[in-house]
Structure 1
Amino acid sequence: MYNKLEYLNCMVSLLIQNPKLSLRIRTIHICGASVLNDAWAITAAHCVHDVELKPKMITLRMGSRYRTKGGLIVPVTQIYNHPNYNAETMNFDVALLKVSDRSFRRNDLPVKPIKLPTFSATMSDNMAAIVSGWGHQSSSLHILSAELKYTTVYTVDQTACNKSLSAHGGITNAMFCAAARNTDACQGDSGGPIQRNGTLIGLVSWGIGCADPYYPGVYTRLSYAPIRSWIKLLTKL
């Protein structure tokens, strides 16, 4: 991924409490998330599945391009995994994070909600989109990035992607694929946004390695009606 001075203002770092860490460093980055409005953020369900009933373990760092400093730490008050989420198949890999009202409304921080796609919005093949996060720089270098990075990937034909990943369970209508040469989302980027023209079209979900030429990355399709309607039901967006 590339590192630029500008960064995506919808993006927040999802932190989890780790009792093994010292009191000085109580939380670690596990995933990315995106701000939807003053009180809601969205991420991948696999990021928070194990702590859905323990929202106090999750906080969000907003308004900073740095993973471990700056901005403001916001506590999460409720976690909602999609009711159809399947941890084995990664189907319906989406979760909503509720924070106190107006927690994301800050004039002193560069935080801006991102627009959701319309219901059943179509997605053409080879469409450029931007994916971002603080994840690993490569599948062999297991070090999180200190600064937010982003890169451009391109959507992949659904049938072709399903065939490429057939040995790994394939993909469903709740997913789509994107790829590019020598660049990709990686571990630590999960739950973060993939966006096009300022619209959040998906979330980083799963993949085989990182930037593997044989395996595109897999993303949660937010325009899929059973997902989009659930988001609207909870957030009114």
Structure 2
Amino acid sequence: VRAIPESTTEKPVSEESDITEVYDSSEDGTYSYNGTKSTTCPCGWRYKNKSNAKIIGGKETQVNEYPFMVSLVNRTSNGRICGGCIISPMHVLTAAHCDFPPMSAVIGEHDVRVSGETNATMKIDIKNFIKHTNFTKYLLQNDIAVAVLSEQISFSAKVGPACLPSERPVLNNRIVKALGWGLLSTTRNISSAVLREVNLKVVDSATCSHHYYDLNPISDTQFCTYAKNRDTCEGDSGGPILWLDPEINRYTLVGIVSFGKSCATIVPGVNTEVSSFINWIQ
């Protein structure tokens, strides 16, 4: 997750799509709307503690604030490959293009430089990586996969699953959140050592397709996100796009970071739309 302004000659996304620090869906729900529904479903919660350091152009998360976040790493070198999201004690949802075996899933991670920072951190080998049968490597359609773990995750306040959507939410122009340890700058090739979060706005498909006319139009199983000088980037792929459902005040996994033309330009990023694949996931 990064913030790196770059120049480009392409038509910019409308300024109405810009996001400021004032909007934070993690605090007050989309458009500060307070829902009346409640849920007992054990998913999508935040773990709160007292530290929350601000980062230029973005924000470092609190330690274990988002219990469902996963880092996919090389099993031997521990080199970071992609992000992922816990959906059950045995399964992590990620992008199909993140398949670089052998891999492990690191749960409960925050600062990759510090060992023992939190007692929630655990590295679990991935025994099976199930890509969607219609995944196309070069067009990145159906870019979704389930990583099957070699042992169960023990859920706690600091580690647990995100909620999955029961139906497709109407997200156009809504605020969503991305998480990751991806690049902070494409010019210096520096990745974040700590988990970061950024708020993005969902952009309509017609606007987004304009920027990808030389590739494929954005399909119904994808959606785009944008914020001025902010974005997901290399290393954030496979990570979650989360919507704080204001009806139940829980984080719902609505998207998976898939691809983009560049990072933090005027071109929106493209994400896999999770609700389109619920039957396949289940």
How does the TM-score come out when normalised to structure 1? 0.85
For residues 76 and 217 of structure 1, the distance between their equivalents in structure 2, rounded to whole angstroms, comes to: 27
For residues 228 and 272 of structure 2, the distance between their equivalents in structure 1, rounded to whole angstroms, comes to: 21
Hey, what does 2:278 align to over in structure 1? 228
Q: Secondary structure at the match of 2:275?
A: coil
Hey, what does 1:112 align to over in structure 2? 160
Hey, what does 1:63 align to over in structure 2? 108
1:4 and 2:61 equivalent?
yes
For residues 145 and 113 of structure 1, the distance between their equivalents in structure 2, rounded to whole angstroms, comes to: 23
Deviation at 1:3, TM superposition (A): 1.1
Runs of 4 or more consecutive aligned structure 1 residues displaced over 6 Å after TM superposition? none
Hey, what does 2:136 align to over in structure 1? 86
Hey, what does 1:165 align to over in structure 2? 212
Q: Confirm or deny: 8 A CA contact 2:75 2:125 kept in the other structure.
A: no
Gaps of 5+ in 2: 1-57, 245-250
For residues 158 and 71 of structure 2, the distance between their equivalents in structure 1, rounded to whole angstroms, comes to: 14
5 Å-filtered alignment, 1:8-157, equals 8-17=66-75, 26-48=77-99, 50-51=100-101, 57-67=102-112, 69-70=115-116, 71-101=121-151, 103-107=152-156, 110-119=158-167, 121-157=168-204
For residues 142 and 170 of structure 1, the distance between their equivalents in structure 2, rounded to whole angstroms, comes to: 29
Please provide the CA RMSD for this pair: 1.6
For residues 62 and 122 of structure 1, the distance between their equivalents in structure 2, rounded to whole angstroms, comes to: 27
1:33-90 CA distance string (max 9 Å, x none): 0100111111100001x54xxxxx1101111212354411111111100001000100
Deviation at 1:106, TM superposition (A): 4.2
Q: Secondary structure at the match of 1:204?
A: strand
For residues 135 and 215 of structure 2, the distance between their equivalents in structure 1, rounded to whole angstroms, comes to: 18
Q: Which has the larger radius of gyration?
A: 2
Q: Secondary structure at the match of 1:36?
A: strand
Q: Choose 165-174 or 33-42, whichever is displaced more.
A: 165-174
For residues 86 and 189 of structure 1, the distance between their equivalents in structure 2, rounded to whole angstroms, comes to: 20
1:207 and 2:268 equivalent?
no
5 Å-filtered alignment, 1:186-205, equals 186-197=233-244, 198-205=251-258
Q: Confirm or deny: 8 A CA contact 2:182 2:192 kept in the other structure.
A: yes
Gaps of 5+ in 1: 19-25, 52-56, 233-237
Q: Secondary structure at the match of 1:187?
A: coil
1:163-197 CA distance string (max 9 Å, x none): 22112333211110000011110100000001011
* Aligned-partner residue type, residue 221 of structure 1: E
Deviation at 1:138, TM superposition (A): 2.5
For residues 140 and 107 of structure 2, the distance between their equivalents in structure 1, rounded to whole angstroms, comes to: 27
Tell which has more relative contact order, 1 or 2 (C-alpha 8 A, sep 6+). 2
How does the TM-score come out when normalised to structure 2? 0.72
Q: Confirm or deny: 8 A CA contact 2:89 2:155 kept in the other structure.
A: no
For residues 32 and 4 of structure 1, the distance between their equivalents in structure 2, rounded to whole angstroms, comes to: 15
Q: Secondary structure at the match of 1:27?
A: coil
For residues 84 and 193 of structure 2, the distance between their equivalents in structure 1, rounded to whole angstroms, comes to: 16
For residues 17 and 209 of structure 1, the distance between their equivalents in structure 2, rounded to whole angstroms, comes to: 28
Q: Secondary structure at the match of 2:199?
A: strand
